[in-house]
């Protein structure tokens, strides 16, 4: 049982002053009592701070009866939780059922009996204290859960960045490549989220996971020998064949990580898709699986364009960077062959955003 403090506030609403006086005499020794003869005034008091802990509400009142007052109380989020006991001289059970259906907590019949009033009031106050305690406890739990989820997401993000940097550290030419491609992919996904072909996939939750997973697209490069990965010139055919294996190496490593956890993690599933398939081409001439068209995962189609654009506009050991406009022309020329046409159209429409991202995370800065 929850102890009832003398600070519990009770609002009495009755259009007859004599009834207010009688109830006040009964309740004031134990509670802080407010009283009014007006339904409109009762609503104002209930919405003020601090609100009453309980309302004793007469049904038969002029201008605004008790049923109307209760309805207004339940419509307002600030007063919805205040328990209401109806005061009534009505003896019809249908009236009582109607009031309870509207949300009344109890009924007290007139003429009142002090002992009954005190018992009913105490019961409702104890119930309210129990509800409030449960609500507060739940709020604390929800806050703790939210904090733990935020901590987990932060740890996850840091872990992804750390893993991605393993590949980036070995390939010193890439610089801020991870930040740029992550931002490009996020832009493409967000802009395409209303496109008929992509709307079902590119939900806000998917886009969030996709952006977090994107930096792992080249994680497989940790398995490429230095003499190939760091070669200053163009690769020969044999070296290029080995370089292409970074897609399978990355996907395999992520798949092994998936097997080590007890439940599926969406970010690992997307990271595996991107790592394996971001070098596939729309016409089926890519690697490692020669996928074509819609068979290429959406995540990989977005990364394919992001990765190529970034490689074109930034310097590498084997080539200088080119102007963004020239890179744009190459991307547009690959529409329908290298890239999904809709993704290219999105890139073209929002080209200035991609240029801004490239400049924001420029390696020279």
* pLDDT tens track, the chain, 365 positions: 444 455 899 999 999 999 999 999 999 988 999 999 999 999 999 999 999 999 999 998 988 999 999 999 999 999 999 999 998 876 666 777 788 888 888 988 888 899 999 999 999 999 989 988 888 888 888 888 888 777 666 666 666 666 666 666 665 555 588 889 999 999 999 999 999 999 999 999 999 999 988 988 988 988 899 899 888 888 999 999 999 999 999 999 888 888 877 667 788 889 999 999 999 999 999 999 999 999 999 999 999 999 999 999 987 766 788 999 999 999 999 999 999 999 999 999 999 999 999 999 886 54
Among all chains, which residue has been given the structure tokens 């897609």? 247
Q: Where are the beta strands (DSSP E) in the chain?
A: 9-13, 32-36, 54-58, 84-88, 106-109
Integer Cα distance of 291 and 338 in angstroms: 11
| Domains of the chain from N-terminus onward | 9-138 (3.40.50.2300), 171-360 (1.10.3210.10)
Please tell me the number of Cα atoms within 13 Å of 45 on its side-chain side: 22
Terminal CA-to-CA distance of the chain, rounded, Å?
A: 66
**pLDDT given for residue 91 in this prediction:** 63
- Per-residue model confidence (pLDDT) at position 2: 43
Write down the pLDDT at residue 171.
Answer: 59
What is the Cα–Cα distance from 356 to 45, expressed in whole angstroms?
55
């Amino acid at each position: 049982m929850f102890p009832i403090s003398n600070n519990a506030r009770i609002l009495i609403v009755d259009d007859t002053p004599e009834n207010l006086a009688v109830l006040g005499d009964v309740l004031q020794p134990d509670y802080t009592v407010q009283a009014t003869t007006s339904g409109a005034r009762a609503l104002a008091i209930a919405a003020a701070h601090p609100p009453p802990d309980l309302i004793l509400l007469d049904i038969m009142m002029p201008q605004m009866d008790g049923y109307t007052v209760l309805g207004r109380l339940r419509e307002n989020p600030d007063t919805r939780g205040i328990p209401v006991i109806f005061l009534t001289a009505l003896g019809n059970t249908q009236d009582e059922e109607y009031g309870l259906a509207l949300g009344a907590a109890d009924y007290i019949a007139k003429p009142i009996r002090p002992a009954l009033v005190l018992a009913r009031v105490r019961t409702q106050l104890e119930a309210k204290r129990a509800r409030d305690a449960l609500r507060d406890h739940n709020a604390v739990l929800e806050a703790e859960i939210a904090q733990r989820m935020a901590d987990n997401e932060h740890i996850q993000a840091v872990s992804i960045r750390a893993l991605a940097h393993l590949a980036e550290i070995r390939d010193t030419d890439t610089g801020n490549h991870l930040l740029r491609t992550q931002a490009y992919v996020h832009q493409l996904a967000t802009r395409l989220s209303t496109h008929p072909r992509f709307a079902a996939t590119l939900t806000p939750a998917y886009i969030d996971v996709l952006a977090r997973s994107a930096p792992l697209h080249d994680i497989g490069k940790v398995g490429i020998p230095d003499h190939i990965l760091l070669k200053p010139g163009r690769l020969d055919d044999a070296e290029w064949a080995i370089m292409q294996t970074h897609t399978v190496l990355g996907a395999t490593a992520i798949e092994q990580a998936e097997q080590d956890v007890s439940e599926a993690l969406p970010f690992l599933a997307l990271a595996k898709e991107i790592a394996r398939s971001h070098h596939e081409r729309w016409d089926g001439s890519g690697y490692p699986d020669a996928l074509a068209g819609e068979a290429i995962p959406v995540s990989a189609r977005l990364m394919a364009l992001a990765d190529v654009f970034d490689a074109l506009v930034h310097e590498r050991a084997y080539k200088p960077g080119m102007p963004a406009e020239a890179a744009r022309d190459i991307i547009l020329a690959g529409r329908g062959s290298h890239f999904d046409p809709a993704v290219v159209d999105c890139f073209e429409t929002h080209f200035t955003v991609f240029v801004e991202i490239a400049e924001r995370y420029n390696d020279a800065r």
